[in-house]
């Protein structure tokens, strides 16, 4: 009794103190209903984080497939066993069907099934352990395809900047296609979307995706292709790790964008794509420019044109001005010429005057000289000139004979005379 | 390379029916030529007028654009079937 009261927290059960004469202060034991017990066990299990997300390896025993479409089996190893439930949806998605004795790796959560008071594994992913787990398969294929060169950066093509037709491979129902059309309508309604519908989960998904891709590859004039799928479990996304799908993606004739699941989901198809988008909506955004920004881009182009033209006009004006100035420099300067001419005239006049003055002075001095040298001046001083009959100036008395006529010229007039006698002396007498 | 001479010959209406990317590239080329500088003033003015028309056509395209959706495997596999 004491154990029970410590085991079951009294705060969570109805406090109903029962009067007891012998032990008045002791709490009475709680009698639980089975339902309450199972509910409590279930809530304990549900609260456990590890049990909510667990991988278990074991052997399938006696699977049953009731008409509901679900599958129930026991998973066991040498020492223990646990019941497992694989519901119809997960079973459809699983790439295998559990059979008795098969070794499997299971992912799921542990919960209590209240009606039967049992706990069991609710399976969401099941793979045959013999074939290796999903991660090992993924790694093996990734290495193989990488070695084949499918993931090389050199293969990646740029996404066309101005697409006119974009092909889309996805499920025609559900949020992904709606998101893609919404993004396109908002960002770049100039484009045509070509949907190639496909299922994107379950065992048939991989070949269906490949067919949908190939239908698009046959389309003319596609600029870009988007391959998209919404989020889901590892198993949900598994077809995007299928070798057929990865190779089909790598073989796309035009650039292909893959957007599968959420940011953290990276499939092999992502590696093979020309561009990996974290989500389907992001794939749509990466596939086309934003037309709301295009209006700005276009307006900016127009403004550039305007300023280029205005600049060209201003440049022309500057050029014309410069030309005009250059021409003005070349034109004859009348004023300057006039000035220069006038200067020249002045200088000429001045020079001429100077020259004239000099001439005059020269002439006057010459005149004075001449005057002093002229016989008239000499005659004025009292000298006389005697001329013979043959009009020679007489300088030697011996040159004339007695009785010969002489003409004596004096300062004023002349004297006709005859030689009475001659003598060779006499000139000294004049000077003495 | 866009043939701007060919685009210049089009009417405004014809111009706004051309693919948007073609219009933008033509506009870019026109701006680059204008900015390039080796053309005369008259040619610049002519180019500028053409650029204004290109710009108007771009705006018309952006304003009137409606997303076209085609679904393969249904009626009109290659035709443009409006989304319903």
Per-residue pLDDT tens over the stretch B46-73: 888 888 888 888 888 888 888 889 998 7
Enter the tokens of residue A408.
């004596």
Best of B47, B59, B70, B75 to disrupt the A interface by mutation (most A CBs within 10 Å)? B70
Give the pLDDT confidence score for residue A2 in this predicted structure: 44
| pLDDT for A217 beyond 90 | yes
User: A123 with A211, same domain?
Assistant: no
User: A117 with A177, same domain?
Assistant: no
**pLDDT tens string A48-96:** 988 998 989 888 988 999 988 899 999 988 888 999 999 988 888 877 7
Across chain B, mean pLDDT equals 77
Chain A CA closest to residue B73: A196
| Mean pLDDT, residues A286-310 taken together | 84
Residue B38 lies in a domain: yes
Best of B4, B39, B41, B45 to disrupt the A interface by mutation (most A CBs within 10 Å)? B41
Give the pLDDT confidence score for residue B19 in this predicted structure: 84
Give the pLDDT confidence score for residue A1 in this predicted structure: 44
**pLDDT tens string A123-172:** 998 887 765 566 777 888 899 999 999 999 999 999 998 899 999 999 99
Residue A73 lies in a domain: yes
Chain B CA closest to residue A306: B48
Give the pLDDT confidence score for residue A429 in this predicted structure: 60
Which residues of chain A are at the B interface, by a Cβ-Cβ cutoff of 8 Å? Answer: 161-162, 164, 172, 181, 184-185, 189-197, 212, 215-216, 219-220, 291, 294-295, 297-299, 301-302, 304-306, 308-309, 312-313, 315-316
Q: Which of A189, A301, A313 sits opposite B65 (nearest CB)?
A: A189
Q: Do A164 and B19 touch (CB under 8 A)?
A: yes
Residue A24 confidence class, pLDDT cut points 50, 70, 90:
low
- Identify the sign of the CA torsion A171, A175, A176, A177: positive
H-helix segments, A218-333: 243-250, 268-272, 280-287, 291-330
User: A155 with A279, same domain?
Assistant: yes
Residue with tokens 């456990």: A48
Residue A421 belongs to what domain range? Answer: 378-431
Q: What is the pTM of this model?
A: 0.52
Using a CB-CB distance cutoff of 8 angstroms, which residues of chain B are in contact with residue A197?
Answer: 71-73
Strands A256-260 and A192-197: unpaired
Best of A190, A224, A305 to disrupt the B interface by mutation (most B CBs within 10 Å)? A305
Give the pLDDT confidence score for residue A345 in this predicted structure: 76
Total domain count for chain A?
A: 4
C-alpha A307/C-alpha B51 separation (Å) is 12
Across chain A, mean pLDDT equals 84
Q: Do A312 and B37 touch (CB under 8 A)?
A: yes
Q: Do A197 and B71 touch (CB under 8 A)?
A: yes
User: A264 with A297, same domain?
Assistant: no
Beta bridge mates, A414: A409
| pLDDT for B74 beyond 80 | no
User: A157 with A118, same domain?
Assistant: no
Residue B52 lies in a domain: yes
Residue A12 lies in a domain: no
| pLDDT for A6 beyond 50 | no
C-alpha B23/C-alpha A99 separation (Å) is 64
**CATH number, domain with residue A56:** 2.40.50.140
3-state secondary structure (DSSP) of residue B61: helix
User: A276 with A302, same domain?
Assistant: no
Q: Which of B39, B47, B72 sits opposite A195 (nearest CB)?
A: B72
**pLDDT tens string A368-384:** 777 777 777 778 778 88
Chain A CA closest to residue B43: A309
User: A171 with A277, same domain?
Assistant: yes
Residue A102 lies in a domain: yes
Residue A5 lies in a domain: no
Comparing A17-26, A342-351, A401-410, the range with the smallest average pLDDT is A17-26
| pLDDT for A314 beyond 60 | yes
Chain B CA closest to residue A220: B78
Residue A5 confidence class, pLDDT cut points 50, 70, 90:
very low
Longest CA pairwise span in chain A (Å): 223
Total domain count for chain B?
A: 1
Residue B18 belongs to what domain range? Answer: 4-64
User: A155 with A113, same domain?
Assistant: no
| pLDDT for B79 beyond 60 | no
**pLDDT tens string A405-429:** 999 888 888 899 998 888 877 666 6
Report whether A278 contacts B31 (CB < 8 A): no
Sheet containing strand A405-409, edge to edge, reads A385-387, A405-409, A414-418
Residue B27 lies in a domain: yes
| pLDDT for A282 beyond 90 | yes
User: A215 with A284, same domain?
Assistant: yes
Give the pLDDT confidence score for residue A82 in this predicted structure: 94
Report whether B37 contacts B79 (CB < 8 A): no
Residue A42 lies in a domain: yes
Give the pLDDT confidence score for residue B82 in this predicted structure: 38
C-alpha A181/C-alpha A269 separation (Å) is 22
Residue B26 lies in a domain: yes
Q: What is the DSSP annotation of A61-121?
A: EEEE--TTS-EEEEEE-SS-EEEEEE-HHHHHHSSS---TT-EEEEEEEEEEEGGGTEEEE
Residue B80 lies in a domain: no
Give the pLDDT confidence score for residue A127 in this predicted structure: 83
| pLDDT for A178 beyond 90 | yes
Residue A82 lies in a domain: yes
Report whether A181 contacts A282 (CB < 8 A): no
Residue B43 lies in a domain: yes
User: A299 with A419, same domain?
Assistant: no
Best of B22, B31, B65 to disrupt the A interface by mutation (most A CBs within 10 Å)? B31
Give the pLDDT confidence score for residue A204 in this predicted structure: 87
Q: Do B69 and A161 touch (CB under 8 A)?
A: no
A82 burial type by CB count under 10 A (0-12 exposed, 13-18 middle, 19+ buried)? middle
Q: Do A190 and B51 touch (CB under 8 A)?
A: no
Chain A CA closest to residue B59: A295
Q: Do B68 and A193 touch (CB under 8 A)?
A: yes
Chain A CA closest to residue B20: A190
Q: Do A298 and B59 touch (CB under 8 A)?
A: yes
Comparing A28-37, A188-197, A337-346, A412-421, the range with the smallest average pLDDT is A337-346
Residue A338 lies in a domain: no
User: A201 with A243, same domain?
Assistant: yes
Residue A430 confidence class, pLDDT cut points 50, 70, 90:
low
């Amino acid at each position: 009794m004491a154990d029970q009261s410590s085991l079951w927290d009294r705060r969570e059960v109805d406090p109903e103190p029962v009067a007891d004469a012998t032990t008045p202060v002791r709490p009475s034991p709680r009698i639980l209903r089975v339902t309450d017990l199972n509910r409590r066990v279930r809530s304990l299990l549900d609260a456990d984080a590890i049990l909510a997300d667990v991988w278990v390896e074991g052997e399938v025993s006696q699977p049953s497939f009731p008409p509901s479409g679900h599958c129930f089996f026991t998973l066991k190893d040498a020492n223990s066993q646990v019941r497992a439930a694989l519901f119809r949806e997960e079973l459809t998605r699983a790439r295998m069907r559990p059979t008795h004795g098969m070794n499997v790796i299971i992912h799921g959560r542990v919960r209590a099934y209240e009606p039967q008071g049992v706990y069991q594994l609710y399976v969401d992913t099941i793979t045959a352990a013999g074939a290796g787990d999903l991660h090992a398969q993924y790694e093996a294929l990734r290495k193989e395809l990488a070695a084949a060169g499918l993931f090389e950066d050199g293969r990646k093509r740029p996404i066309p900047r101005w697409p006119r037709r974009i092909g889309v491979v996805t499920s025609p129902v559900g949020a992904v296609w709606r998101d893609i059309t919404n993004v396109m309508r908002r960002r770049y309604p100039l484009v045509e979307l070509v949907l190639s519908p496909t299922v994107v989960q379950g065992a048939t998904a991989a070949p269906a995706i490949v067919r949908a891709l190939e239908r698009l590859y046959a389309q003319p004039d596609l600029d870009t292709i988007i391959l998209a799928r919404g989020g889901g479990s590892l198993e949900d996304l598994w077809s995007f790790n299928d070798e057929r799908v990865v190779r089909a993606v790598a073989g796309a004739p035009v650039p292909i964008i893959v957007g599968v699941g959420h940011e953290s989901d990276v499939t092999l198809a992502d590696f093979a794509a020309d561009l990996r988008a974290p989500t389907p909506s992001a794939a749509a955004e990466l596939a086309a420019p934003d037309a709301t920004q295009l209006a700005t881009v276009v307006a900016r182009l127009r403004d550039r044109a305007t300023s280029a033209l205005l600049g060209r006009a201003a440049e022309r004006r500057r050029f014309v001005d410069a030309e005009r100035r250059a021409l003005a420099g070349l034109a004859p300067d009348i004023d300057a010429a006039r000035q220069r001419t006038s200067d020249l005239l002045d200088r000429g006049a001045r020079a001429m005057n100077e020259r004239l003055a000099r001439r005059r002075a020269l002439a006057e001095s010459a005149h004075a000289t001449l005057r002093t040298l002229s016989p008239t001046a000499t005659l004025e001083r009292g000298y006389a000139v005697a001329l013979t009959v043959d009009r020679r100036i007489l300088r030697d008395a011996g040159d004339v004979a007695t009785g010969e006529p002489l003409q004596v010229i004096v300062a004023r007039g002349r004297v006709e005379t005859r030689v009475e006698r001659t003598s060779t002396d006499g000139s000294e007498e004049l000077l003495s | 390379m866009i043939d701007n001479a060919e685009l210049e010959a089009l009417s405004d209406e014809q111009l706004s029916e051309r693919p948007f990317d073609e219009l933008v590239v033509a506009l870019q080329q026109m701006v680059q030529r204008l900015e390039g500088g080796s053309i005369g003033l008259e040619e610049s003015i002519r180019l500028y007028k053409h650029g204004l028309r290109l710009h108007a056509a771009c705006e018309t395209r952006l304003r009137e654009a409606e997303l076209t959706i085609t679904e393969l495997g249904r009626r009109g596999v290659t035709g443009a079937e409006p989304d319903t």
